[in-house]
């Protein structure tokens, strides 16, 4: 908050707190405050709103709008998870990979993932997608490597755009994947395209 002081009388000063606006033109994607940010419609569709506005890393639906009942008709809350930074477009500039989790009650834990770049000092979405739930394509890790985007999902042959919930014969329940799938993407022609071999590796824990 920014404090402004006005002199009301010779011996009385009144201080008004005003919010400090985020920089209108950021120099780096790291200057963007993704904890106090508006996200376009979540790809998991767990929230009905066209825009989800977070404050201090959270959105909390009022009880009168979304009663805490299971199954819920809408999301109760949304929180920011890990935020990773790295060059995923090969231009030498960092992008941000923001992971959100929307709560609707129960044990379901799919994530909403947004990949942002900085254009003319403003954050722009390059890609957004939903992960699966735990052993069924749950997000293990997302990161940059050699100018490419790397996505790791729990399960065998689990890739974004595929059937993340198909039985792959490898898990011992939703809680317990035994392998994960690593896929690499290259930014080509204004979109991310899968490159290289899909890797199936032993699952050693969530990162």
> Any idea where the domains of the chain sit in the sequence?
25-130, 140-207
Q: For 32-38, what is the mean pLDDT?
A: 98
CA dihedral 73, 82, 202, 181 (to 10 degrees): 70
Q: For 126-130, what is the mean pLDDT?
A: 98
Burial of 79 (0-12, 13-18, 19+ CB in 10 A): middle
What's the chain's length in residues?
207
Q: Tell me: the pLDDT tens digits for 3-24?
A: 444 333 333 333 333 333 344 6
Q: Please list the residues that pair with 80 across neighbouring strands.
A: 100
Residues 6+ apart with CB under 8 A from 207: 140, 141, 152
pTM of the model: 0.87
* pLDDT, position 24: 65
Q: Tell me: the pLDDT tens digits for 89-121?
A: 999 999 999 999 999 998 999 999 999 999 999
Whether 152 and 182 have beta carbons less than 8 Å apart is answered as yes
């Amino acid at each position: 908050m920014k404090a402004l002081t006005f002199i009301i009388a010779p011996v009385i000063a009144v201080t008004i707190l005003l919010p400090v606006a985020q920089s209108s033109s950021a120099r780096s994607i790291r200057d963007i405050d993704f904890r106090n940010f508006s996200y376009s419609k979540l790809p998991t569709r767990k929230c009905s709103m066209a825009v989800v506005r977070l404050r201090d890393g959270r959105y909390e639906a009022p009880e009168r709008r979304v009663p805490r009942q299971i199954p819920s008709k809408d999301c109760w809350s949304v929180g920011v998870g890990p935020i990773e930074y790295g060059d995923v477009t090969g231009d030498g500039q960092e992008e941000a990979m923001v992971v959100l989790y929307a709560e609707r009650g129960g044990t379901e834990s799919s994530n909403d993932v947004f990949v942002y770049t900085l254009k003319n000092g403003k954050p722009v979405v390059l890609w957004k997608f939903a992960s699966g739930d735990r052993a069924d394509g749950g997000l293990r890790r997302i990161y940059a490597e050699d100018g490419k985007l790397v996505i790791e999902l729990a399960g065998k042959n689990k890739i974004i755009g595929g059937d993340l919930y198909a039985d792959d014969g490898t898990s011992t329940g939703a809680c317990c994947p035994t392998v994960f799938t690593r896929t690499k993407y290259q930014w080509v022609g204004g979109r991310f395209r899968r490159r290289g071999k899909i890797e199936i590796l032993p699952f050693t824990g969530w990162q």
